[in-house]
Structure 1
């Protein structure tokens, strides 16, 4: 009976860990001074994202930059996600480019907001959904309502910090991140553990 309970606990642990994995992939580029003043220039500066990023990270919530939004290091900016940084953590992110990517589950009529200092571009399904192209101060918010069909779409959020001394990126995009399905291998593992548990129970 004890072995059966252990197997059941393992099943619950594996399923819980996999099913709740919902995050965006983050990339960061530290770019030369005085090279970006618009989102178009920012994306061009990193060659559409083909250049090797300065660092990568996992975005669990798009809530970056705290009042008074003073520019500091990348880890300062990312707050709770700082522990996921892989690569260089520059002491100052002034003049930099970010890209967040992942899949989102949208329902017709959903509203996505982006508050940023400076500009951003949000693509859904490969097409621009909303953007602010130039420079603006903290608190500037852009909202857009999803008018497409309900479903799961690829999403890319570009953001740049220009040559001023404040930085902010807040969005509810993370609320729509689609749960990651359990891989086929994971399902086979769960099936196998379940079968073992059933056999143990019959023997008990």
Structure 2
């Protein structure tokens, strides 16, 4: 539906859409050493982007390579590759894991911004886990339209901060900047989008989706 609302500058017409229900496997694992086990977790988000409790069904495409229990505990048995699937109420997520001679975990995610609602937001960002916390970094090519009350959010909706994590007030309208995030509030794979949001008027200035 379309909503006409007062914005940071004049009046914007914003297309507000419900998002697809989403199940996200929350893991940094890319390779599991043969003989080792790993506990998978998954987060379920409803069509407003809000997280809800869910009893997830787990399966493996190749139980001989990597098996997984009903509780999400996986074990690597032999060299090869398997796709782990999590499913709940028709929503599902999949991740392909290699069984190899060592366990390897992803440590960073990257993405790029684009503007929204006639505002300009550009540049690259990355999210990495370091020293027991997450660091959301905007690269030196970041630049955004100025406006009052701009905040940064991590969200599972490209258009809404419902169910999103407020990272903090924007530090600058351009240039490199770093936002620390507690691992108690989010994991590396918990959210799909970074939003630049005008809080006083509820207007999206820009969004970026993680590429990985």
Q: TM-score range by the shorter chain?
A: under 0.3
Superposition TM-score, scaled by structure 2 size = 0.24
Structure number with the higher helix fraction is 1
Superposition TM-score, scaled by structure 1 size = 0.24
Structure number with the higher strand fraction is 2
RCO higher in 1 or 2 (8 Å CA, sep ≥ 6)? 1
